């Protein structure tokens, strides 16, 4: 799944300085595979990957995260947007604020789940389950009617469903024209003060013009506040064409994705959202009539891509570096070696690689963080480079034994790294302070130190 694919890439990209065409390409290949495996339609995948590439290459990775993490961040953001994460307020909300009756028109292919969803929505609304702008809208007086005149069983099915959810059903029959049924239902609903009228319609096995003309005529006549496109999550790749045909023929207001209780990977959700640009409002999670839920973009993203929590993946990647370092340091201290400037330099390199100073400082042991904090002073990155320059100008022997650093050597190092001698002195003072802390920690025992390091 996507999480596994991305964590692999994050690992291989660790240590690379920036997002390039080449390493971005590797990562995007994994993203593309994961999406296709989840049954997202190819044109949608192409669009998505192109958008991620554009964002990623425009990103300044240096000074933020390592490239793998940065790219995961971009993928995560784009996925959430594609799922409609920005529109989560509309999940499960219907606009019923019309002159009653508020008409809901159900559209979709045969077998998509229109009749079942009509029953589910009728139950949801009549029992007062509906929430809008954070408030329950109360129990609604609901009428349902079937305009599916091609299959007598379809009308009977709605009658049964309506009885099960204790909602009024207006009989219709196969000799009537769909438009006449709609007109009669509207009239009946007005006269009997129904607040909501749900109109179930016929569907074909594939998209055809006659069906589109028919539902368009119903739309014009009913002037619905909600026109819901019902689509089977199992549809996979096909969903995109069907969704496009319906979106072109009708001003849809939302999508209901059914049969998510099956083993559909649900890539249809991404495709449909992308093609229609309409919010997914509900999902069907059972053939039973209480099997309806408001759509949650995050949950859906998780399901479709098995993506776990990508944000925590980014955090995990950072923590792993920390833990590995802490363990190395602990092992070194345990073996009786003292913390020297070589260790300090390594720590700094780690800091630089990870980039994000703020969050790193939080993860370091408190004492170390304090010392590192003194390096920050607003210009963390620059200061970091200077410090590194000083350390690089020392010989390994000098770093291992800082006592060697007498005045002449300090002058050489200062000249070599292009800083005043005072800065070399400042660094050494800081280091001494840190070394003292390390000794302290060692005395406190390994367990305590590992705790302090978050290990
Ligand atoms: P329509 O032709 O669009 O009206 O589709 P139906 O409402 O008749 O549903 C077709 C089949 O899908 C029926 O067997 C339903 O029980 C089943 N169905 C509909 N929604 C769901 C769902 O969310 N989960 C499951 N498991 N089955 C569903
Ligand atoms: Mg039906």
**Is 10 in the same domain as 68?**
yes
Q: Is 164 assigned a ligand-binding role in the annotation?
A: no
Return the CATH number at 124: 3.40.50.300
ipTM: 0.99
Is 303 within a domain? no
**Is 29 in the same domain as 74?**
yes
Which has the higher per-residue pLDDT, 437 or 212?
212
Ligand 1 within 6 A of CB of 151: no
Taking Cα atoms as reference points, which of 237, 238, 185 lies closest to residue 207?
238
pLDDT at residue number 96 = 82
**Is 151 in the same domain as 55?**
no
CA of 453 to the centre of ligand 2 (A): 61
Q: Could you give the CA distance from residue 243 to residue 255 in angstroms, rounded to a whole number?
A: 9
**Is 209 in the same domain as 76?**
no
For residue 293, the ligand closest to its alpha carbon is 1
**Is 201 in the same domain as 321?**
no
How distant, in Å, are the alpha carbons of 94, 105, 433 from that of 223? 15, 9, 76
Nearest CA to ligand 1 atom 16: 287
Domain count, the chain: 3
CA of 96 to the centre of ligand 2 (A): 23
Ligand 1 within 6 A of CB of 110: yes
Ligand 1 within 6 A of CB of 259: yes
Least confident of 5-14, 20-29, 182-191, 417-426: 5-14
Is 300 within a domain? no
Q: Is 112 assigned a ligand-binding role in the annotation?
A: yes
**22, 55, 83: which is the final residue of a domain?**
83
Which region holds residue 419: left if phi is over 0, alpha if psi is between -120 and 50, else beta? beta
**Is 69 in the same domain as 186?**
no
Ligand 1 atom nearest to 230, measured from its CA: 3
**Is 327 in the same domain as 415?**
yes
**Is 148 in the same domain as 17?**
no
Residue 382 has pLDDT above 80, yes or no: no
CA of 317 to the centre of ligand 2 (A): 49
Ligand 1 within 6 A of CB of 115: yes
pLDDT at residue number 60 = 53
Which range in 11-25, 255-269, 434-448 is most confidently predicted, on average pLDDT?
A: 255-269
Is residue 150 within 8 A of residue 214, CB to CB? The reply is no
Q: Is 137 exposed, middle or buried (0-12, 13-18, 19+ CB in 10 A)?
A: middle
pLDDT in tens, 317-356: 445 555 555 556 666 655 666 778 887 777 666 655 554 4
For residue 109, the ligand closest to its alpha carbon is 1
Is 19 within a domain? yes
Is 306 within a domain? no
Q: Is 146 helix (H, G, I), strand (E, B) or coil?
A: strand
Is 307 within a domain? no
Is 305 within a domain? no
Q: Could you give the CA distance from residue 17 to residue 440 in angstroms, rounded to a whole number?
A: 35
CA of 100 to the centre of ligand 2 (A): 25
368 CA to centre of own chain: 35
Compute the average pLDDT of residues 171-199: 97
Return the CATH number at 334: 1.10.260.30
CA of 85 to the centre of ligand 1 (A): 26
CA of 288 to the centre of ligand 1 (A): 9
**Is 168 in the same domain as 226?**
yes
**83, 104, 120: which is the final residue of a domain?**
83
Q: Is 117 assigned a ligand-binding role in the annotation?
A: no
**83, 103, 136: which is the final residue of a domain?**
83
Ligand 1 within 6 A of CB of 258: yes
Is 301 within a domain? no
CA angle 181, 184, 187 (to 5 degrees): 150
**Is 385 in the same domain as 416?**
yes
Helices (H) and strands (E) in the chain, counts: 20, 10
Return the CATH number at 46: 1.20.120.140
Terminal-residue alpha carbon distance, the chain = 29
CA of 111 to the centre of ligand 1 (A): 6
pLDDT at residue number 358 = 46
pLDDT in tens, 85-119: 655 556 678 888 778 999 999 999 999 999 999 99
Task: Find the radius of gyration of the CA atoms of the chain.
Answer: 31
Residue 394 has pLDDT above 80, yes or no: yes
Calculated CA dihedral for residues 357, 3, 302, 51, nearest 10 degrees: 70
Which range in 24-38, 275-289, 356-370 is most confidently predicted, on average pLDDT?
A: 275-289
Which has the higher per-residue pLDDT, 378 or 251?
251
Long-range contacts of 392-398 (CB under 8 A, 24+ apart): 392/345, 392/417, 393/417, 394/341, 396/342, 398/341
Residue 273 has pLDDT above 80, yes or no: yes
Taking Cα atoms as reference points, which of 220, 229, 291, 295 lies closest to residue 262?
291
How distant, in Å, are the alpha carbons of 20, 69, 333 from that of 5? 19, 13, 36
Helices (H), 90-151: 114-126
pLDDT at residue number 224 = 97
**Is 69 in the same domain as 107?**
no
For residue 283, the ligand closest to its alpha carbon is 1
- What is the residue-averaged pLDDT of the chain? 79
Crossing angle, helix 421-443 and helix 310-334, to 10 degrees?
80
For residue 117, the ligand closest to its alpha carbon is 1
Is 363 within a domain? yes
Crossing angle, helix 267-276 and helix 42-57, to 10 degrees?
80
Q: Could you give the CA distance from residue 31 to residue 378 in angstroms, rounded to a whole number?
A: 37
- Domain, as residue range, for 228: 89-295
**Is 139 in the same domain as 283?**
yes
Q: Which residues surround ligand 2, an ion (CB under 5 A)?
A: 114-115, 154
Is residue 284 within 8 A of residue 120, CB to CB? The reply is yes
Ligand 1 within 6 A of CB of 266: no
Compute the average pLDDT of residues 37-64: 76
Pairing of strands 280-284, 254-258: parallel
């Amino acid at each position: 799944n996507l999480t596994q694919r991305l964590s692999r890439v994050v690992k291989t990209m660790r240590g690379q300085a920036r997002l390039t065409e080449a390493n971005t390409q590797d990562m995007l290949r994994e993203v593309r595979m994961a999406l296709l495996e989840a049954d997202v339609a190819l044109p949608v995948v192409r669009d998505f990957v192109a958008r991620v590439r554009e964002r990623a290459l425009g990103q300044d990775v240096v000074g933020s995260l390592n490239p793998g993490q940065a790219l995961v961040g971009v993928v995560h953001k784009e996925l959430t947007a594609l799922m409609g994460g920005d529109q989560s307020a509309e999940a499960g909300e219907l606009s019923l604020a019309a002159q009653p009756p508020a008409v809901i028109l159900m559209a979709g292919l045969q077998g998509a789940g229109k009749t079942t969803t009509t029953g589910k929505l009728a139950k949801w609304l009549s029992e007062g389950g509906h929430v809008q702008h954070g408030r329950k809208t109360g129990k609604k007086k609901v009428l349902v009617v079937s305009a599916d005149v091609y299959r007598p069983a379809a009308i009977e099915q709605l009658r049964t469903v309506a009885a099960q959810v204790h909602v009024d059903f207006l009989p219709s029959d196969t000799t009537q024209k769909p438009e006449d049924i709609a007109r009669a239902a509207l009239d009946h609903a007005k006269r009997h003060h129904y607040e909501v009228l749900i109109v179930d319609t016929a569907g074909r096995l594939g998209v055809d013009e006659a069906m589109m003309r028919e539902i368009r005529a119903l739309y014009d006549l009913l002037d619905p506040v909600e026109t819901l496109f019902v689509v089977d999550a199992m549809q996979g790749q096909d969903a995109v064409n069907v969704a496009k045909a319906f979106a072109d023929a009708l001003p849809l207001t939302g999508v209901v994705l059914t049969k998510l209780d099956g083993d559909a990977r649900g890539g249809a959700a991404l495709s449909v959202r992308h093609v229609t640009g309409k919010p997914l409002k509900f999902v069907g999670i059972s053939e039973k009539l209480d099997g309806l839920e408001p759509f949650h973009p995050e949950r859906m993203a998780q399901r479709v891509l098995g993506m776990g929590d990508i944000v925590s993946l980014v955090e995990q990647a950072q923590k792993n570096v920390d833990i590995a370092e802490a363990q190395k340091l602990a092992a070194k201290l345990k073996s009786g070696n003292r913390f020297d400037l070589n260790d300090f330099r390594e720590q700094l390199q780690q800091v630089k690689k990870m980039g994000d100073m703020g969050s790193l400082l939080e993860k370091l042991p408190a004492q170390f963080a304090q010392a590192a904090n003194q390096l920050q002073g607003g210009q963390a990155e620059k200061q970091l480079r200077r410090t590194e320059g000083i350390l690089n100008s020392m010989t390994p022997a000098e770093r291992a034994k800082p006592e060697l650093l007498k005045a002449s050597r300090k002058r050489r190092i200062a000249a070599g790294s292009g800083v005043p001698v005072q800065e070399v002195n400042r660094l050494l003072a800081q280091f001494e302070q840190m070394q003292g802390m390390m000794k302290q920690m060692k005395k406190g025992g390994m367990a305590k130190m590992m705790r302090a390091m978050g290990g």
